[in-house]
Each structure stands twice: as C-alpha cells, then as structure tokens.
Structure 1
Amino acid sequence: MPSKKAPNPIDVHVGSRVRLRRMMLGMSQEKLGEGLGITFQQIQKYEKGTNRIGASRLQHIATLLKVPVAFFFEDAPGTPEESHGIGENPQTTYVVDFLSSTDGLALNKAFVRIEDPKVRKKIVELVKAVAGEDD
C-alpha cells in the first residue's frame, strides 16, 4: 500500500505565511476563500501545505492580503541564505509560529497599542518573570 507523501517544506512555509498574514488582517479563511472563489477548506489545505498554491493564485492571494508575493517566501527553507550557511534562524521560526497563533497575534496587537515605552518595558519584565526567565 503506498504511503502518503509528506508536503514539500516550501509549500508548508508559504502556507504558514498565508495564514500569518490572513490572521494579521483579522480575515477568516471563509472571507479569503470568497475573494478567491474557493472554499475555506481549500484555504485550510493551502495553509497546511497539503495543497500547492499555483503562481496565479498566489498572486491573487498576495493582492487580497496586501503584500508582495515575496512575503510568502521570506525565511523559506532552502533559500540562498540557507545554502550559504546562514540557515533559517530558529528565533525567526519561533516568532512566526507565535504570531501565527491566536494568542500570539492578540498579544502582539495589544502590546503595540501601548504608547508608553516604560509600560511596555514593565510588561516584558512581567512576562519574563511569569515565564521564570532571569536576565
């Protein structure tokens, strides 16, 4: 019995960037799907990387999400930076994963609305203390 092929890492990365940007805009999968003339289930498959996004569809997604197509390939595995020994920064991957989560996005949106830099610094100190991280 043939085993199911794993998604290509580039397709997974591009899909995660679609999800990140969609969530940053507060757009639902259904709304993005409507703009593309497809179902939200298809958007789910794109975001997981199980279905590849064609070039014309990616251009349409970029237009709807108000980003250049290159946005979806930033920090992608196998990019020239990676082949030169720089590699994908685990910190960058962690940040993208965090911002792709509902809580991470909500926390980030609320945090950037805080105007007083002293208050922001105190919040960072509080979060570090709760996490048990010492300076």
Structure 2
Amino acid sequence: MKHPVDVHVGKRVRHRRWMVGMTQQQLGEKVGIKFQQIQKYETGMNRISASRLWDIARALGVPVSFFFEGLEEGEAAAPAQTAAQTRGDLLADKEALELVRSYYAIPEEQRRRLFDLARVLSDAA
C-alpha cells in the first residue's frame, strides 16, 4: 500500500524533473539506477531512501527539503487543501509547466526583465 508521504515526495520528484526538462532515463543515469526505478519512486510505489533522495536532489539541483514542501503534518490521515497543494496542481498543468520551462530557457538578464514586466502587468490588472 502506498504511503501518502511517499506519493507526495514522488510527485515532487516528477514535477522537478519535468521543470528541468529531464527524462526518467536521464535522471536514472545521473543517480545510477534504471528508469523503471524512477517510475516507481514517482508513483510512490517504492520509497526513496535518504541517500537516494540526496542523490536525486543533487541531480535535480534542489535541496532535499524541496520534496517535502507542501506536506502538512497529519496530512496522511486527513489531507487538507493548502496553497502549496494548489501550487502542486498548477505544476501538473501542462501549459503552466511549458511556461516555466520556457521561462528558464531565457538567458538570466532577459529573464529578469521579463519577470519585472510580468510583475508590473499583474500590479496593473
């Protein structure tokens, strides 16, 4: 039986992998395992050991704590809709994901200008 924490961590692995445009195969190669194991981690079928989560975090360029963001204490018993979960749902949206990927593909100086423009436009709305 899947534990809700394993499912949450697996989803966060998948979302981050998608955000950086990495395949399961590529992530598996970076951490020294087969892509099938990455699939099992991402669905929560298999638990990720601390050392493996450390390797995955390094490969994806995030701190280990990233995978636990949005997880509330007691969520396994009665999950509540939180702002972080809503953000997680947003990351599941293909259009939002494509926007994030495109944003990070822009050179940093131009990306900063685009960010400033978006902030001005959202303040004006």
TM-fit CA distance, 1:59: 0.6
Aligned to 1:105: 97
Contact 1:9 1:77 in 2 (8 A): no
The CA RMSD measured in Å over matched residues stands at 2.7
**Whose RCO is larger (CA < 8 A, sep 6+)?**
2
Cα distance in 1 for partners of 2:119, 2:91 equals: 23
Give the TM-score normalised by structure 1: 0.68
Unaligned runs of 5+ in 2: 105-110
Unaligned runs of 5+ in 1: 126-135
- Percent of aligned positions with the same letter in both sequences? 48
Match runs of 1:1-135 below 5 Å: 5=1, 7-78=2-73, 88-110=80-102, 115=114, 116-117=117-118, 121=122
Q: How many residues of Structure 1 are paired with residues of Structure 2 in the alignment? A: 112
TM-fit CA distance, 1:103: 2.6
Letter matched to residue 41 of structure 2: Y
Give the TM-score normalised by structure 2: 0.73
TM-fit CA distance, 1:36: 1.6
Letter matched to residue 16 of structure 1: K
Which is higher, the Rg of structure 1 or of structure 2? 1
Cα distance in 2 for partners of 1:29, 1:118 equals: 34
